[in-house]
Amino acid sequence: MPNNRYHDETPMSSSGNSTPALSNSTSWAVPTISTAVTGLLRRFSTEPSTHSGNGNGNHHNNTSNHAKSQSPSFSPAQNGIQGVYTPPHRTASPFQPPPLYPVTLKGWRENTDPSAQLLSRALAEEIRLLVPPRLQLCEEWNLVYSLEQDGVSLGTLYKKCDDLRGLRNGFVLVVKDGEGGLFGAYLTEAPHPAPHYFGTGECFLWRATILSSSLLANLPPPPSSDTTNLQRSTTIGAPRNQNQNPAHPSSLLSPTFSQPPPKSPSSIKSGASTPERIRFKAFPYSGINDYMMLCETGFLSIGGGDGHYGLWLDDTFEKGVSSSCPTFGNEPLSEEGEKFDIIGVEVWSIGN
């Protein structure tokens, strides 16, 4: 009887033969032990965080939560994933950059006529404020090419600039037209013949107008000037002389301004400040296209697009063109119009 009951409880194989009881019992026991061990390990690993009775687990969690709450970027609403990222509060550094030293222009020969020198220190200070900050610290500007000293040749300009290629220098191009206007460009690379455009978005075009003393006297003081000692007087019912027209009662009101005489050029502080008789205008990179610089053996150009050049010079430095271009969104730089005669050209290097 015991043997028959044992064989009845033993599962049969597909061939009809009985499976040994010992091997079957072992196969059932192994999963049972594995399941029990896995359950115990799972329980022990999750018990400190799920049971509040464990003091060590609560202390660890409280410390972790306190540290996370102290972190300014831990808040889920400020991490940039579940909400708008809010950067941590930072205080401004008390460090202030040192004042800039005056610009020194070097490269002129002793026999060069001062009237043929295009770039002045006052104009250089205006350009300096717009160059990259790393180059603003360079107070020494060196003359690379001058039409007055080196002759009328674009090839000579390329050759003298070729020695400075590869350096992190900046270059200032200065052009003088037939009417005496000064304009040019700041270039991030040395001009050189290339089959494609080059340069970075730090390039810009500029123009400067030198105001005469008579025109400056008729202009009101600029907002940046010191008006502490400025006085205004209005005379009402002034005696009318024979030259006055009685039909204009506005002549009875004659506001006058009086202010101290202008400072001499020697008393003007050097550095970031410049004389007020220079009207400077710059045209930075617009981002519309990347047509910064295009130089070939037959011409030199800065800016372009839509069939126009911001500034274009021929290889003999006789004729030039300046039109509004998308690269800088500039206005024509010359008062003569889009086409102008070239009187002088200079290239200055800022840096090594």
Does residue 145 lie within any of the structural domains? Answer: yes
Does residue 24 lie within any of the structural domains? Answer: yes
Q: Which residue has the higher pLDDT, 88 or 267?
A: 88
pLDDT tens, position by position, 290-318: 999 999 999 999 999 999 999 999 999 99
The H-assigned helical ranges of 210-258 are 213-218
| Contact between 279 and 207 (Cβ < 8 Å) | no
Residues 183 and 39 placed together within one structural domain of the fold: no
DSSP element (H, E) containing 283 = strand 278-284
Residues 113 and 29 placed together within one structural domain of the fold: no
Report, in this order, helix, strand and coil percent for the chain, each rounded to 5: 30, 25, 50
- As a whole-number percent, the residues of the chain with pLDDT over 70 amount to 62
Residues 132 and 280 placed together within one structural domain of the fold: yes
Per-residue confidence (pLDDT) for residue 219, from 0 to 100? 55
Residues 290 and 175 placed together within one structural domain of the fold: yes
Does residue 341 lie within any of the structural domains? Answer: yes
Does residue 160 lie within any of the structural domains? Answer: yes
| Residue 137 CB neighbour total at 10 angstroms | 13
Give the chain's domain count. Answer: 2
Per-residue confidence (pLDDT) for residue 96, from 0 to 100? 78
Provide φ and ψ at 302, rounded to 5°.
-130, 125
Is the pLDDT confidence value at 19 over 50? no
Is the pLDDT confidence value at 120 over 50? yes
Is the pLDDT confidence value at 323 over 80? yes
Q: Which residue has the higher pLDDT, 62 or 299?
A: 299
Q: Which domain holds residue 10?
A: 1-50
Residues 304 and 178 placed together within one structural domain of the fold: yes
Residues 27 and 135 placed together within one structural domain of the fold: no
Residues 289 and 171 placed together within one structural domain of the fold: yes
Residues 46 and 135 placed together within one structural domain of the fold: no
Per-residue confidence (pLDDT) for residue 301, from 0 to 100? 97
Residues 1 and 108 placed together within one structural domain of the fold: no
Per-residue confidence (pLDDT) for residue 167, from 0 to 100? 87
The pTM assigned to this predicted structure is 0.60
DSSP element (H, E) containing 229 = none
Per the prediction, the chain carries an average pLDDT of 76
Residues 196 and 300 placed together within one structural domain of the fold: yes
